[in-house]
Chains A and B, each alone.
Chain A
């Protein structure tokens, strides 16, 4: 029998996969900041009453590894303030999960940067939403004022110096979109390797503040033109990646083409996609493998399809993404719960 060269074909169907290939683990809703555009409505006093802890956290991490999930992210809230963050991140990373951590980077000093370097992450994703303190501070609020831009820039430099791969996330707003080029220049000089951006998502707190946050279409045109120009300028040095579509476009596309990924909430509930309120499993009751099977079914649920069909770009429904709705996947009757 001869060995034949095998052609690689592109993405397999969801039904053929035994588990997700990306899990976003929203490990806590507590955050040191109170950002005006936070899609998760996180903040200093916004921790869920019943967040997973101790052995429950360990069980979820173990199941992610056992199911062979190849990559994931730890997000929040601010993941670095979760007491088990380093333990969980080290466990996942040491067991083959390619891990991205999303942070505001305000709490990173040299010692923390060294600890993060030992985690061998795919990337530390740092949010930088402005090139000036006045712009950054308008978006990144604290209970008493504004977060400080210089701390984030220092953190990027320290992380890069310690050998951590740094990516940067930028959310454009009416008052920050025109600073995107300056931000790219600044973070590239500090050692960032990837720059992610796209249209601001009209969900969570961003939806509530939409009128004064949303850039105009004219601003977006300038924004995307700058990104294209910077992508050429930094070719081979910094990857500039942006998603040009609205959250509604993404949602409608995903309803027909679900991604092999879901979100684990701080309380162990499993959310189908960030922009919709629907929950399809509870990791206190279901294993991760069961959650995956439920996730696949959930995309066919009439409530999900109805939401996707009805929602429009300017729809207040989008502000309800954190008013969670548990789907009853055993019965045709729908059960709702906030």
Chain B
């Protein structure tokens, strides 16, 4: 999977299956945090602080987003080390 900033948002390239997806700013923010090495919990914590939101609710949204990516085989979910 490759990620590139485009004129109207962020694009995900599924280089294995040769598919392209667009995601909006919030999805891009989640992906950026995950790709820079944050865990799901860490990502939720940062976003909850940034948006002054309830961490548990944000975590649920982050997981839902990652599940969507996993369903398209764009990411694999692994336990945090």
Question: Contact between A8 and B61 (Cβ–Cβ < 8 Å)?
Answer: no
A98 contacts B by Cβ under 8 Å: yes
B75 contacts A by Cβ under 8 Å: no
Question: Contact between B16 and A122 (Cβ–Cβ < 8 Å)?
Answer: yes
| Complex CA–CA separation, A257 to B18 (angstroms) | 16
Question: Contact between B58 and A2 (Cβ–Cβ < 8 Å)?
Answer: yes
Question: Contact between A3 and B4 (Cβ–Cβ < 8 Å)?
Answer: no
* B30-81 interface (Cβ within 8 A of A): 30, 47, 51-53, 57-58, 61-62, 64-65, 68-69, 72
| Complex CA–CA separation, A143 to B71 (angstroms) | 51
Question: Contact between B2 and A71 (Cβ–Cβ < 8 Å)?
Answer: yes
B38 to chain A, nearest CB (A): 14
* A1-27 interface (Cβ within 8 A of B): 1-12, 15-19, 21-22
The answer to whether residues A12 and B13 also contact, given A1-B51, A1-B52 and a CB cut-off of 8 A, is: no
| Complex CA–CA separation, A68 to B6 (angstroms) | 10
B14 to chain A, nearest CB (A): 9
Question: Contact between B61 and A4 (Cβ–Cβ < 8 Å)?
Answer: yes
A268 to chain B, nearest CB (A): 24
The answer to whether residues A98 and B15 also contact, given A16-B6, A70-B2 and a CB cut-off of 8 A, is: yes
The residue from B8, B57, B64 contacting A2, defined by CB atoms under 8 A apart: B57
**Count of interface residues, chain A, beta-carbon cutoff 8 Å:** 26
Question: Contact between A11 and B20 (Cβ–Cβ < 8 Å)?
Answer: yes
Question: Contact between B7 and A5 (Cβ–Cβ < 8 Å)?
Answer: no
A244 contacts B by Cβ under 8 Å: no
In the complex, which residues of chain B have a beta carbon less than 8 angstroms from the beta carbon of A6?
A: 23-24, 26-27, 65, 68
* A69-95 interface (Cβ within 8 A of B): 70-71
| Complex CA–CA separation, A2 to B58 (angstroms) | 7
| Complex CA–CA separation, A2 to B12 (angstroms) | 23
| Complex CA–CA separation, A260 to B69 (angstroms) | 22
Question: Contact between B4 and A8 (Cβ–Cβ < 8 Å)?
Answer: no
Question: Contact between A70 and B61 (Cβ–Cβ < 8 Å)?
Answer: no
| Complex CA–CA separation, A6 to B69 (angstroms) | 10
| Complex CA–CA separation, A5 to B15 (angstroms) | 23
| Complex CA–CA separation, A6 to B22 (angstroms) | 10
Question: Contact between A21 and B13 (Cβ–Cβ < 8 Å)?
Answer: yes
| Complex CA–CA separation, A98 to B12 (angstroms) | 13
| Complex CA–CA separation, A238 to B74 (angstroms) | 20
The residue from B20, B51, B58 contacting A21, defined by CB atoms under 8 A apart: B20
| Complex CA–CA separation, A260 to B11 (angstroms) | 13
| Complex CA–CA separation, A22 to B15 (angstroms) | 10
The answer to whether residues A8 and B51 also contact, given A18-B6, A70-B2 and a CB cut-off of 8 A, is: no
A96 contacts B by Cβ under 8 Å: yes
| Complex CA–CA separation, A260 to B20 (angstroms) | 10
In the complex, which residues of chain A have a beta carbon less than 8 angstroms from the beta carbon of B61?
A: 2-5
| Complex CA–CA separation, A1 to B18 (angstroms) | 34
The answer to whether residues A16 and B8 also contact, given A1-B53, A3-B26 and a CB cut-off of 8 A, is: yes
B19 to chain A, nearest CB (A): 8
The residue from B7, B21, B30 contacting A8, defined by CB atoms under 8 A apart: B21
B32 to chain A, nearest CB (A): 13
Pairs across A and B, CB under 8 Å, 17 listed? A2-B51, A2-B57, A2-B61, A3-B26, A4-B61, A6-B27, A10-B19, A12-B6, A12-B20, A15-B7, A16-B8, A17-B6, A17-B7, A21-B11, A70-B13, A71-B13, A122-B16
Sorted nearest first, the 3 A-B pairs with minimum C-beta distance are A6-B27, A70-B2, A98-B15
Extra contacts, 6 of them, besides A18-B7, A19-B4, A68-B4 (Cβ < 8 A), are: A5-B68, A6-B23, A8-B12, A21-B20, A71-B13, A98-B2
